[in-house]
Chains A and B, each alone.
Chain A
Amino acid sequence: MEEKIHIDWLSVILYIIIVLFGAMNIYSANSGLDEPLSLDFSKEYGKQVIWISISAIVVFLILLTDYKFFNFSAYGIYVIIIGMLLVLLATGSFNKGAQAWFKIGAFKLQPSEFAKYATALALAKFLGTFDIKFEGKRNQLICFGIILLPMLLTLLQNDTGSALVFTCFILVLFREGLSGWWLVLGFYLITIFVLTILIPSWYILLFLLVVLGAIFYFFRKQKQLVFVSVLIFLASTVYTIGLDFAFSKILKPHQQQRILVTLNQDVDEYYVNKQKGFSFFKFEKKADEKKSESKRDYSYNVRQSKISIGAGRWFGNGFNNGTQTKAKLVPEQHTDFIFCTVGEEWGFVGSTIFLIVYLVFIGRIFFLAERQKNIFSRVFGYCTGSIIFFHFFINIGMAIGVLPVIGIPLPFMSYGGSSLISFSMLLFTFLKLDANRINEISRLY
């Protein structure tokens, strides 16, 4: 039977719009002021053109590939990527310093970017395998294993940001039947974790006690609910005090500071406040000067980022006219902080349109994923959407100062070959699968 290609053109058009818009912003952030519009391949915006070209070739190759290839070779690709990560770790330990890339000529290849793709394939393959149901405990463990292995290896390379991205696969598992309570629990634990660090832990306990009291008062009759509440309260108390103890007493000052910095805290101020007020565990050491330097760098980034975006006002300074952008005041502006350029040069109106376009794009991927008739394609689709969504959420949340500083790129926008190519592979592999869903049905039935 003839295989028809019904590629989802809406996704392709949105993809092209975002990639080109990204290139424009990289150009803006990267070129000097009053510089004539030109293509300089020695500069990042010039290189980005090369990356876009390579991505186009990769996309073309994927579209030419038989859709069955991805299902067939999913584990193979996963194993190869894991192997590459291990090799990097090994050479890293040899060279006394973690390295996150392979050097190929002038270009750096970052396997961790491709690890997401490989993990998505492997997860889709496992869940898509005939007879496997996510409900089984053993299968669930395998799923977590598939996710945790590359996550751990990335973490060992000190690439915390990329490692965190792997948590987005939880979303996929949620779609595949993981109880929503797990998400709620995760959210609860993260909230308590953050709060324990930010405010004295006895505040949290006091609050939980009040909630418990309220439950006692209003739901006296429902013995089971009260019982569960007490259990949760006790567990939360242990968790909170444990966290407080671990943070205050077990972690070394530089580790504490790293967490504080990520949470946008002024380290010195934090220590002073912590020593003043009542808390269960006192810090013995004060922040040492050298380490608090790095915190200034982070808070500097976020502050500059907010200033850049704020400078845009309603309509922005216009393309290639952002003064903060041109002054190169935001570090990493062409990579992780590319949204600053959008904010400054396109203003509130432009940024809002951009956000909406991007969210429609992600929504479209989820929509396409849901309409898949086979599990492999559906899981892979949800993986694609979740990865892009997670990046989008963290990256822009960081740029506008509502989320901690976690350095991960904005898919299709940020400068970088590995990032653009891997995300293009991810998207078009899924679009290829989607295009063939008709064939898939005809094959199954």
Chain B
Amino acid sequence: MEKSNRLYVFLGALVLVGIIFITRLFFLQIIDTSNYYKAQAYGSNEITIYPARGTIVDRYGKLLVYNDASYDLMVVPQKAKDFDKAALCKELMIDTTEFNKRLKKAARYNPREASVIYKNLPFHLYTRLQEVLYQFPAFYIETKIDRRYNINGAAHLLGYMGEVNERELEKDKYYKPGDIKGITGLEKSYETFLRGIKGKKVVLVDKFSKTQGSFAGGKFDSLPTAGENIISSVDLDLQVYGEQLLANKTGSIVAIEPGTGEVLCLINNPNYDPNLLVGQQRNRNFSALLLDPSKPLFNRALKAPYPPGSTFKTVQALIALQEGVLTPATRYPCHGGYHMGSITVGCHPHASPLDLENSIAKSCNAYYCYVYRSVLDNPKYPSVQAAYTQWTKYLNSFGIGVKTGIDLPEESSGIVKKSNYFERVFGKNWRSSNVVSISIGQGEIGLTPLQMANVAAILANRGYYFTPHVIRTIGDKNIVPDDFKKKHYTLIDRRHFDSVIAGMAKVCIPGGTAGRTGITGIEICGKTGTAQNPHGKDHSIFIAFAPRHNPKIAICCIVENGGYGADYAAPIANLLIERYLATDKTAPSSKPEMQKRMLTANLTGAKISASDSLKALANKPK
């Protein structure tokens, strides 16, 4: 080769190198997109911007739950190297061993992702850290929104927030470690509406984890979307008043608007202040509440099945009427009670015989023993067992023995035994006399206060109910879930309600079982109940709705160890009815003495709780 031609070897080499490099670049930059996506991940640090959680207001727009900012110190464990640990611990006022423990825990979860290392920084620490935190590039402060409750009760209704657990983290990718979510109550049920959509800010960090500014000009940033605000169905005024009336008593009150199924109040006592379960003291307070023997965390209204006592007579009468074994004119004698063989069900003195209407008004036990036995011994059915099974179907249509479907977690379905339960206890061919106590709402029957309130609503509606719910609407678009707009009909014809209601209308007027508790000017239809309690004084129970025509409120009140239904439950329920129906909520009660007696009554000496009687009930049949 002529030596001067060797120039072309050089130029050829240049072209060859050019082709190789450009081809390689084409592969790196255009074909292989993995580098591009890796670039998004490297060098960027995603900071979550928490949306404001939806607020909750009562049915009249009064604020129940709102938000307050809290600050967490976050750490990216992998980057937490070569920093002055002692200095940071001094700033945080915690000792190094504790700090190391937390750091290790964070690293165990995910060394590359941020975890909380100091929850709920007190405000003075927050301001101080903002000045010094630049020295600790692996750490940053994340602002979170804390819940605040405008009421120191209603805890079982509103619920509380808590940290997501590992199982939830896996299940729902929305959450990151350290996030809080609704654990019970409304906060849990409407979590997905309340929580909103998280925003993020992607910042560029250099290899020293120092923030260099917004990543890619903010292209990947997103603003958070605030959670939906919820209008609760609760009447804050009624709720607070009810809690005052139930103070120093153990029990539960549930009030429902019959025409909608909206829960107007949901009261338990013992109760607790929901603000206790917010902020730095949360865990300490929570364990204290958990260990409290009075069980303030226990949601009686939804979870405690009580024997309904005489309030159950309304249901018994309706079923018997529908079955055709009872007419409003049917009379049964009562001579101090019901006697049959060895069985005696006692009754208080009253005129005899009574018709249906007056059997409700006077709450005759004997009458309902006849009624229930006529239902079970109905020749229409081949056996008592078949009649009983049919009877349970009626109950289920009342929302008894099944969950009402309320929009709050952990509802109990109460106690309705199946026929074969009695076969085990009394033998295959058990008779109606075996279960005669159920006639009057004792024995193998249990209703939660919510179910009893729902029964009151069914009575008010003359035959149907809406699934009880604690919200009116969700969000700006005023969404109401379709489930809540659906009427659930019982298996009872509307016409059968008249005589029962006529009887209930007599209960709160002189001559009725709660004759002294009535409210002037309001036609209250009620039914007292007294649930026998093998461990102590009877439970005082009352269900009612008012006004008789076009009812606005249906209510159930249970006062444990309160004695007769007329002693506590009826006065409290009637005072609440009065308050709810009053146009001027500040107007004094027409029954100031009764009101004062209820507000001041202290029954906390009696120690037996609903759960104990529940246990007793479960152990009873041998």
Contacts and interface: CB of A to CB of B under 8 A. Distances in A.
- A306, A310, A317, A392 pick with most chain B CB within 10 angstroms: A310
Contacts of A239: none
B216 A323 contact: yes
Interface in A202-222: none
Interface in B1-51: 1, 3-4, 6-7, 9-11, 13-15, 17-18, 20-22, 24-26, 28-30, 32-36, 38-39, 42-44
A423 interface: no
A310 B38 contact: yes
B588 interface: no
Interface in A331-355: 331, 343-344, 347-348, 351-352, 355
A324 B36 CA distance: 10
Contacts of B36: 310-311, 313
B32 A33 contact: no
A304 interface: yes
B3 A176 contact: yes
A304 B34 CA distance: 12
Contact of B207 (A32, A328, A370): A328
Contacts of A34: 212-214
Contacts of B205: 327
Contacts of B21: 355, 396-397, 400, 402
A174 B10 CA distance: 10
A174 B3 CA distance: 9
A317 B344 CA distance: 92
Contacts of B29: 309-310, 312-314, 343, 347-348, 351
Interface stretch (A258-266, A356-364, A437-445): A356-364
B215 interface: yes
A321 interface: yes
B28 A310 contact: yes
B296 to A, nearest CB: 52
- B7, B10, B36 pick with most chain A CB within 10 angstroms: B10
A307 interface: yes
B26 to A, nearest CB: 6
Nearest to B208: A328
Contact of A327 (B14, B38, B212, B217): B212
- B3, B28, B207 pick with most chain A CB within 10 angstroms: B28
A270 interface: no
A175 interface: yes
Given A311-B36, A400-B28, A329 B10 contact: no
A389 B204 CA distance: 36
B56 to A, nearest CB: 41
B168 interface: no
A328 B33 CA distance: 21
26 contacts: A32-B212, A33-B212, A33-B214, A34-B213, A176-B3, A180-B9, A306-B35, A309-B28, A309-B35, A310-B33, A311-B39, A313-B30, A323-B44, A326-B213, A329-B42, A329-B207, A355-B18, A355-B22, A359-B15, A359-B18, A363-B10, A385-B10, A392-B17, A393-B17, A401-B28, A402-B20
Given A310-B35, A363-B10, 14 more contacts: A33-B213, A306-B28, A310-B33, A343-B28, A348-B25, A348-B30, A352-B22, A352-B25, A355-B22, A359-B17, A363-B11, A370-B7, A389-B13, A402-B24
Interface of A: 32-34, 171, 174-177, 180, 304, 306-314, 317, 321, 323-324, 326-329, 331, 343-344, 347-348, 351-352, 355-356, 359, 362-363, 366-367, 369-370, 382, 385, 389, 392-393, 396-397, 400-402
Q: Give the 8 A-B CB pairs with smallest separation, nearest first.
A: A310-B35, A327-B43, A311-B39, A33-B213, A348-B29, A370-B7, A328-B206, A33-B212
